[in-house]
């Protein structure tokens, strides 16, 4: 039995293939743009019922959605307030994360416990297609080992070399264990919007996770309390500042010397 798109996967304005009410049982399918969803349940084995926008004959048609034709669809006028990611839905989950970052305006600021190669790959795709972003700030906790710091530095330098001419990019690590313990949620910010989630890596590993949009009236407070105070901290070091990076390297050297005693 075919698996048709669920209610949450279908959005108004999205191009779909549907079995129209008048064509039921004939095998005839029709392409159209979703004007309104008519089914309230999360899933229907026969397909979610929608009303399609007027066709070339100026007629609105009702039908059951069999396939989504533009999975990368972004509804810029209706940003998601709650995004649920589900185990096993690898492609769908990645598309949701990409859609979220791809609608960013002016800037992208991220506070995340770990930052890995695959996270740079996500940002790479976003900046290649989204020309509305002029600033990127990444804030993460210092890696546990020197080799991980060096690898992070290589990825950060490559990222800045590619996009730094058009986008202001900075990457800082927090070298303070107490701060690391204090930060329970991760945050993503863009113009007038603050999202909270568990961990970026969790989102990309296709584990169950949620991304929630914080109330707009709390935006300034969220930015100050959950991002800027750590960004400005004396224990936050930029990977692109020579003196800062030397201090980080010296920190690991001191740890190595202690472990040898």
Write down the domain spans for the chain: 7-68, 82-247
146 φ/ψ angles, rounded to the nearest 5 degrees: -60, -40
Asked whether residue 196 carries a pLDDT value surpassing 60, the answer given is yes
Same fold, 7-68 and 82-247: no
* pLDDT, mean of residues 129-136: 93
Q: How confident is the model at residue 87 (pLDDT cuts 50, 70, 90)?
A: confident
Q: What is the pTM of this model?
A: 0.69
What is the CATH code of the structural domain delimited by 7-68? 2.30.30
Sheet containing 209-213: give its strands across.
Answer: 82-85, 209-213, 193-197, 186-190, 106-112, 133-141, 168-174, 236-238
Q: How confident is the model at residue 137 (pLDDT cuts 50, 70, 90)?
A: very high
The confidence score (pLDDT) of residue 256 equals 86
CATH architecture of the domain 82-247 equals 2-Layer Sandwich (3.30)
């Amino acid at each position: 039995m075919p698996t048709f798109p669920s209610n949450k996967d279908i959005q108004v304005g999205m191009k779909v293939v549907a079995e129209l009410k008048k064509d039921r049982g004939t095998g005839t399918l029709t392409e159209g743009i979703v004007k309104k969803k008519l089914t309230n349940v999360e899933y229907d084995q026969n397909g979610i019922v929608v009303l399609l926008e007027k066709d070339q004959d100026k007629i609105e048609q009702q039908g059951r959605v069999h396939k989504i034709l533009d999975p990368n669809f972004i509804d810029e006028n209706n940003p998601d307030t709650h995004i649920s990611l589900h185990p096993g839905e690898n492609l769908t989950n990645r598309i949701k994360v990409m859609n979220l970052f791809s609608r960013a305006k002016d800037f992208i600021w991220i506070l995340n416990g770990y930052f890995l190669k695959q996270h740079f790959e996500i940002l790479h795709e976003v900046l290649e297609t989204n020309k509305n972003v002029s600033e990127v700030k990444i804030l993460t906790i210092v890696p546990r080992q020197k080799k991980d710091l060096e690898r992070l530095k290589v990825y950060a330098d490559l990222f800045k070399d590619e996009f730094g001419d058009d986008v202001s990019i900075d990457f800082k690590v927090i070298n303070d264990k107490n701060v690391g313990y204090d930060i329970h949620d991760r945050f993503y910010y863009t113009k007038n919007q603050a999202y909270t989630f568990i961990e970026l890596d969790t989102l990309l590993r296709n584990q169950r996770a949620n991304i929630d949009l914080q109330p707009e009236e709390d935006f300034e407070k969220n930015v100050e309390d959950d991002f800027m105070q750590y960004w400005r901290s004396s224990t936050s070091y930029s990977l692109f500042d020579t003196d800062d990076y030397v201090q980080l390297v010296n920190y690991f050297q001191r740890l190595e010397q202690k472990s040898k005693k």
